[in-house]
Amino acid sequence: MSGQGSARRANPTAAPVQYAEFVRVVAQFKTTKLLRLLASVAGEQWQRPSHQLVDVRDPILPHAASLVAMEALGSWGRHGQTTPTRDDLRYLSEMVVGLDDPFASSADEAGRLADGALDDLLLRVGFQQFAYQQPVFNDTARLRPMLSRPFPADRFRCISAEVITQLLGTDLDTYIDLQPLFLAAVMVNRGQFNAAWLDQPNFGELTAHFPPADILAVYEAMTRPGQDLRRLIRPNRHPDPRMRQYDFNPLVASPFVGLPDGTSVAPQPFFVTGRFTPSALYYAGIRRFGNDFATDLGYVNEDYVLAQLGQLRTIGQQVDGEIEWKKGRKTVDATVVAADQVVLVEVKSVRPILSARADFASYTAHLARDIKKAVEQLIDTYDLWKAGNPHLDHLPAYGSTTVSALIVVPEPLYLVNHTAFRATLPPAPFSIAIISMTELEHLVACALHEHNATVLANAARPHPGGIIASDVQGVLLDAQRRAGGKMPRNPLLDAAFDAMRIRSS
């Protein structure tokens, strides 16, 4: 029988869908067939240009596919009897969109929402859905220029080339070069991967470049049997069923589901690409070394941001790194002087833990400490410059230029550029934008294209509506329009991809 009978409700969006009902519907389907169908549909999505990966006309939205896959794994061993269809995916996607959330019951009898209820919802939705709209190119390309470097022992406690190899399963270059293989596998093989393929003649060119043992080491690190994934899901459910759609999805760490026949399937290809990013190394390193690894990676992030900004020297902009102005005291991580603009840049390696993504108050409390330190560092450097400290003589005379600032973080932090979050930070005498590494890379690319770095300063300008303290996305969209509708390329990232031994033409 198809899933169009008992799996249906007349109108799943007419009232909030209870999570238990969603789980019941998912459990009706044959688990492996549902996972394979999700992977097949996702593979079709990945055939499109990267900016079209998310399309409301698809049978299922990306975040809904991830949630359906997780709940299918949660029912592993109790397989349903229904073979799913594409129409069933559409229905499941509608159910996910209609899932109950605490926001739905936050209004009083007069319909007034509780204070902060909308901010809470936007935060949850951001971390649930916005990640699928991020470009996958930047994260993977960033690995090589970020980590192909020495790690002197007097600065780095944990990170070394040897440690990176241990964490990734092979050396850095091989790891990065294998990303196209695994992405191609899930794109053209309906999400499936079979280790036996490596023995086939048509894989001869690949195995001539990469020892099969290295390929298998990376693959095995991304794969867990279905029953093991089920055991990771069940004990870690949020106590409030309305919040379970935001639970950690173990497919993020293990995107390939090992099947009983010895093959595997990746029901959400986005998680495959996510394993070839600095974030994957961060979480693997934290599990092994703890906070010392985070500190080391913070130094790596600072150096990488300076390398990105250093490209602006080719268009005549002045870029300088941090300066020790007093024993044990340093300025911001970088400064950029562009015409009549000075941009102060501070790097903070802060990532929100899962529990901090549930409500805006927890999110603010978790992030505010590190972001507050960054703001204070920016103000301290500004005050030194204003006071005429000789260590900042490389900057223009104070008062002769406008000033703005960027705080660069590894991953997107949603809502931090809204005035509600900024109200928790110290006031500064200049505009500040909090941007991700990807946004920095885009800003640098736009500056190189325009032969002018004022786009960095513009990123910090307030939105005229007053709700957004800095309209980074608006500035990037304007720059993209000026470039003919396509985001300019970042040379440092392009060089990293050009270094791949095997890549698509």
Q: Please report the DSSP string for 333-392 in residue order.
A: SEEEEETTEEEEEEE------GGGGS-HHHHHHHHHHHHHHHHHHHHHHHHHHHTT-GGG
| pLDDT higher at 376 or 208 | 376
Could you tell me how many residues make up the chain? Answer: 505
Distances (CA, A) of 375 to 332, 365, 393, 459, 483: 10, 15, 22, 16, 32
Question: Among residues 129, 174, 143, 180, which one has the least CA distance to residue 280?
Answer: 143
| pLDDT higher at 260 or 406 | 406
Strand positions, DSSP E, 226-266: 256-258, 264-265
C-beta of residue 27 within 8 angstroms of C-beta of residue 75: yes
C-beta of residue 416 within 8 angstroms of C-beta of residue 367: yes
Q: What is the DSSP letter of 468?
A: B
pLDDT at 10: 43
Q: How far is CA 87 from the centre of its chain?
A: 30
pLDDT over 90 for what percent of the chain?
71
Question: Among residues 33, 129, 23, which one has the least CA distance to residue 86?
Answer: 33
CA distance 320 to 395: 9
Could you count the other beta carbons within 10 Å of the beta carbon of residue 214? 18
How do residues 336-357 score in pLDDT, each as one tens digit?
998 789 999 999 999 998 889 9
Q: What is the DSSP letter of 159?
A: -
State pTM to two decimals: 0.92
Overall average pLDDT of the 214-223 stretch: 92
Overall average pLDDT of the 296-305 stretch: 96
C-beta of residue 180 within 8 angstroms of C-beta of residue 500: yes
C-beta of residue 264 within 8 angstroms of C-beta of residue 223: yes
How do residues 378-389 score in pLDDT, each as one tens digit?
999 999 999 999
Q: What are phi and psi of 6, to 5 degrees?
A: -65, -15
Distances (CA, A) of 383 to 332, 338, 386, 403, 430: 12, 20, 5, 12, 12
- Evaluate if residue 316 carries a pLDDT over 50: yes
pLDDT at 381: 98
pLDDT at 169: 87
Residues sharing a CB contact under 8 Å with residue 195, sequence separation 6 or more, in sequence order: 216, 219, 262
Give rounded-to-5 percent helix, strand, coil for the chain: 55, 10, 35
Question: Among residues 333, 300, 344, 321, which one has the least CA distance to residue 456?
Answer: 344
Overall average pLDDT of the 407-417 stretch: 95
pLDDT at 23: 96
pLDDT at 185: 82
Tell me which amino acid residue 445 is. A
Retrieve residue 304's tokens. 């990488």
CA distance 116 to 58: 33
Q: What are phi and psi of 139, to 5 degrees?
A: -60, -45
pLDDT at 1: 38
CA distance 144 to 496: 6
pLDDT at 6: 41
Q: Please report the DSSP string for 406-426 in residue order.
A: EEEESS--TTTTBHHHHTTSP
Question: Among residues 487, 497, 491, which one has the least CA distance to residue 442?
Answer: 487
Q: What angle do CA 167, 181, 261 make, to 5 degrees?
A: 85
CA distance 496 to 435: 22
How do residues 158-203 score in pLDDT, each as one tens digit?
999 999 999 998 999 999 999 888 888 888 888 888 899 999 998 8
User: Which residue stretches of 46-97 are H helix?
Assistant: 62-74, 86-97
Could you count the other beta carbons within 10 Å of the beta carbon of residue 461? 17
How do residues 82-112 score in pLDDT, each as one tens digit?
999 999 999 999 999 999 999 988 877 777 8
Residues sharing a CB contact under 8 Å with residue 500, sequence separation 6 or more, in sequence order: 176, 177, 180
Overall average pLDDT of the 251-261 stretch: 93
CA distance 92 to 408: 38
Q: What is the DSSP letter of 472?
A: H
Average pLDDT, the chain: 90
- Tell me if the domain spanning 309-498 has CATH number 3.40.1350: no
pLDDT at 57: 79
Question: Among residues 74, 210, 306, which one has the least CA distance to residue 502?
Answer: 210
CA distance 335 to 486: 28
